[in-house]
Amino acid sequence: MGMKKLFRTFFDKEVEKFDKIIVSAGRRGLQMEVETDKLVEVVKGTIVDLTMEEI
Residue 39 in 3-state DSSP? helix
Asked if residue 7 has pLDDT above 80, the reply is: yes
Per-residue pLDDT, 6: 79
**Residue 43: pLDDT over 80:** yes
Q: How far apart are CA 32 and CA 2, in angstroms?
A: 13
Q: 48, 8 in Cβ contact below 8 A?
A: no
Is the pLDDT at 2 greater than 70? The verdict is no
Report pLDDT for 39.
Answer: 95
**pLDDT for the residue numbered 53:** 80
Q: How large is the average pLDDT for residues 7-31?
A: 94
